[in-house]
Chain A
Amino acid sequence: MFDQLTERLSTALRNLSGRGRLTDENVADTVRQVRLALLEADVALPVVKTFTDAVRERAVGAEVAKSLTPGQAFIKIVHDELTRLMGEPSTGLDLRAQRPVVVMLAGLQGAGKTTSAGKLARWLIEKERKKVLLVSTDVYRPAAILQLQTLAAQVGAGFAESTADEAPIAIARRALDEATRSAYDVLLIDTAGRLHVDAEMMAEVRDLEAAIHPHERLFVVDSMAGQDAVNAARAFNEALSLTGVILTKTDGDARGGAALSVRQVTGKPIRFIGTGEKTDALEPFQPERIASRILGMGDVLSLVEQVHEQVDREKAEKLAKKLHTGKSFDLGDLRDQLSQLQRMGGMAAVLEKLPAQLQANAAKAAGAVDPKALKRQIGIIDSMTPRERRRPDSIDGSRKRRIANGAGVALPEVNRLLKQFDQMHKTMKKLAKGGMLRNMMRGMAGRLPPGFGP
């Protein structure tokens, strides 16, 4: 499904190309595609609406940087806005409080609280050199306490025992005493999974919070969560006045739209992401990475930057000037264009940076620009004399054979290149006469990879 969406998005973006400025009209369809992409990524509907409104506002009237196509400029706006909404990169936990610093984890069933508690303990022990005590107040799920005990032993954390017939508050109080007595730096409290609409269970966790006053109150949420994540986050935030979020199971292929919803409704930072099964699979949150993932954009942004850097601006401008002044486009100019393509690492390197879903399509288009063919075409032009490059019509049969031999290619390849050039040349002349230089340049941009038009 997402394949189709990414395609739809890129189609909409293609329709944006050839315009120097983003207008209300030309972004409308694209905004709709972004909306669908976000919904497919499970970003909650109200959040999507706020977001697309913000994007539209920023996009309309925005001048498109010369090196970017309007489509790329639009993606950049979307991406920047997403990254901004995601907040600052995380620095971990706030441990500036009297010891033992109490950290509490809460969330829905199956979100990954107990596993996260084990991972967080390990992170605190190894990265922050803290002495950590773990305790489970999950007196409901069979063997939940044992699960945490096993994890505590694995990661070398202390474990405060509890049994299923105790009250959660009593368990937590006893653990806090133990943490104080035994000079632990951090007490990590795991809680039972609960539904945010379960009034009784929400009251329980609220009472637990009121009794213990944990310094950090973290909401653990599955990155695969659906539309309702927004309501769950709101309810937990109201009950516990959260201080942060842990996003779990990001090693799957979920788009992680829940991250945006949760961030938006709670306004609380995402502290960590869970990235695998093992206890060391926990990383501080990087907003940029999740933003790209939600959009399904792969590494498009770094591609855009790369195009920026490597297209030789001067040569591109020289070419543009040449066309403006009516001087003819010759094979030397074509060679410059081809070698710019080559400098980007050929199409293979460009392809690697595209989102997976786009790669197949792009590969089809790139067939025409196979890196070997590119090299041969440059070789053919290099085997010409400067005069031949300026006056291709002077190349007769004997010269063609000489060029083919020099470039180490078969004669038909030389013919094909000359024919292609001839067609390009004719089109350009026609357009130049009609005073449609700008359009022509755009036409060229359409044939070359995105961002190439000067």
Chain B
Amino acid sequence: MTNPASPPAARGFFKRLGERLSTGSSRIAEGLKSILPGRKIDAEVLEELEERLIGADVGVEATARILEDLGRRVARKELGDVDALVGALRRAMLEILAPVEKRLQIGGAKPYVILVVGINGAGKTTTIGKLANRLRTEGRSVMLASGDTFRAAAREQLAVWAERNGVPLIAQQAGAEPAAVIYDALQAARAREIDVLIADTAGRLHTQSHLMEELKKVKRVLSRIDPGAPHEVLLVLDGTIGQNALAQTAEFDRNLGVTGLVITKLDGTAKGGVVLAIAQRFKIPIRFVGVGESLEDFGEFDAAGFVDALLRPAGESA
């Protein structure tokens, strides 16, 4: 995606993320210094850190990887004080996150079809609204398709976003076949020479195989019009959920081949660590993160900015 205004905006966004995360009660690096002034880094300090990482939803697997790395450095006496420890922690986290920092590249196909999937309440519709706004700001024409024909008022919720962004919405009555709605939308988008079609789908738990089949059908039907469609299968994950995010990603990926992730609600409550847990396990690019309700609270994922936001002591700005 080409967005000349992106770097400064992104910095502001992650600063915001840092501020938001800082309202959470147990920051990872917070207080490490005050608890351990001038202490030498030993097993006890690492154990304290382990608990903080777990407490931030980093998960056992990614935590083990980070601590293994730090443990080796401690053994080699590379980490003399807490500052060195936090520096090494930052590098270890970056090592996990850098490979998944890959921006969504729109282009090649017209319309570029984005299929948005996820479990109930993850924030799919809100993500679509914000994504549409972003694409509109970049000067692209956007169309929305309401494939959630199940949840009461899902169509209306998306309609509000369509209206706010001034983009067309293709929808049918509740109970309609989602694949049919999205198929129609792709044809309409083609006819109107739209740049990007974003298709909403009903939230579903990844354990409901019949609903997964429904999504596979949507995918099949789209590829009948354009063999490359959907060009992006975007899985939306709630950043406040715990380790089940891993199970969700695995299931959606197995069924649909997820090409990008959006992690929402990384504001205030979330410790954000689940992002590390996911990046450690899967190599799926993280496209966007959402840190709040407003339009500006949605931005491209930036590994370094994210790690800084995680580690920055509360009250200290970047």
Contact = CB atoms under 8 A, between A and B. Distances in A.
A225 B23 contact: no
Nearest to A153: B152
Interface stretch (B82-90, B136-144, B238-246): B238-246
A45 B55 contact: yes
Interface stretch (A140-148, A183-191, A408-416): A140-148
B121 A252 contact: no
Contact of A143 (B25, B153, B244): B153
Interface stretch (A226-234, A377-385, A435-443): A226-234
Interface residues of B, number: 48
Contacts of A254: 241-242, 244, 247
B54 A39 contact: yes
B121 A227 contact: no
A228 B58 CA distance: 12
Interface in B220-279: 238, 240-247, 265, 267-271, 273-274
Contacts of A365: none
B123 interface: yes
Interface stretch (B155-163, B165-173, B176-184, B297-305): B155-163
The 10 closest A-B pairs by CB, nearest first: A110-B121, A42-B242, A226-B242, A150-B152, A142-B160, A147-B153, A143-B156, A197-B268, A143-B157, A143-B153
Nearest to B64: A36
Contacts of A44: 55
Interface size classification for chain A: 35 or more
B17 interface: no
Contacts of B270: 226, 228
Contacts of A197: 23-24, 268-269
B244 to A, nearest CB: 4
A39 B62 CA distance: 13
B206 interface: yes
Interface string A248-260: 0101111101100
Given A39-B60, A143-B157, A227-B55, A252 B271 contact: no
A110 B238 contact: yes
A154 B56 CA distance: 40
A333 B267 CA distance: 67
Interface of A: 1, 5, 36, 39-42, 44-45, 108-112, 115, 141-144, 146-151, 154, 195-198, 222, 224-229, 231-232, 249, 251-255, 257-258, 277
25 contacts: A1-B281, A40-B59, A41-B243, A44-B55, A110-B120, A143-B157, A146-B152, A149-B152, A150-B152, A151-B152, A154-B152, A197-B269, A222-B241, A224-B244, A225-B241, A226-B242, A226-B243, A227-B57, A228-B24, A228-B271, A231-B24, A252-B206, A254-B242, A254-B244, A255-B244
B271 A227 contact: yes
A255 B206 CA distance: 14
A36 B157 contact: no
A255 B246 CA distance: 12
A108 B267 CA distance: 12
Given A40-B243, A197-B23, A253-B207, 11 more contacts: A39-B54, A108-B269, A110-B122, A146-B156, A147-B153, A195-B268, A222-B240, A227-B57, A227-B242, A231-B24, A249-B205
Dominant SS among interface residues on chain A: loop
Contacts of A227: 54-57, 242, 271, 273
Contact of B269 (A5, A149, A196): A196
A444 to B, nearest CB: 36
A378 B317 CA distance: 76
Contacts of B268: 195-198
B151 interface: yes
A147 B152 CA distance: 5
Contacts of A45: 51, 54-55
Contacts of B61: 1
Contacts of A253: 206-207, 244, 247
Contacts of A144: 153, 157
Nearest to B58: A227
Contact of B243 (A42, A142, A252): A42
